[in-house]
Amino acid sequence: GNSVTQMEGPVTLSEEAFLTINCTYTATGYPSLFWYVQYPGEGLQLLLKATKADDKGSNKGFEATYRKETTSFHLEKGSVQVSDSAVYFCALVGTGRRALTFGSGTRLQVQP
């Protein structure tokens, strides 16, 4: 079946540091890949997505590239801010499926 593996957190960084949150997946066919973010006290919201190999999703300074050869979709940001502190979830939806499969989430804490 489909599965998503994320690096465990929490990840603690200083403001303006470079961020990488690793995500790898297992799926048949050609899944679509997503990053969702959950800010404190808020519901999950879509951060970015990529629907085919080599696509790059980007939003709010975050980027992730769909790498089929390594089955990865790592999240990166060049300079994090305190306001980026949140829990980040990697997810996929497989071919012919409707429901997303989520990773366990990675908590990011950015210190001023």
Partner 1 sequence: GAGVSQSPSNKVTEKGKDVELRCDPISGHTALYWYRQSLGQGLEFLIYFQGNSAPDKSGLPSDRFSAERTGGSVSTLTIQRTQQEDSAVYLCASSLTQGGRGEKLFFGSGTQLSVL
- Where does this chain bind partner 1 (CB under 8 A)? 4, 32, 36, 41-46, 49, 51, 89, 91, 93, 97-105
Q: Which residue number, 17 or 58, has a Cβ lying nearer to partner 1?
A: 58
Contact 35, 62 (CB under 8 A): yes
Closest distance of CB 79 from partner 1, Å: 26
Q: Which residue number, 83 or 104, has a Cβ lying nearer to partner 1?
A: 104
State the CB neighbour count (10 A cutoff) for residue 78: 11
Q: Which two tokens stand for residue 88?
A: 């980040």
Q: Which residue number, 69 or 99, has a Cβ lying nearer to partner 1?
A: 99
CA geometry: angle 72, 107, 79, nearest 5 deg: 75
Closest distance of CB 82 from partner 1, Å: 22
Pairing outcome for strands 86-93 and 75-77: unpaired
Q: Which residue number, 18 or 53, has a Cβ lying nearer to partner 1?
A: 53
Contact 64, 33 (CB under 8 A): yes
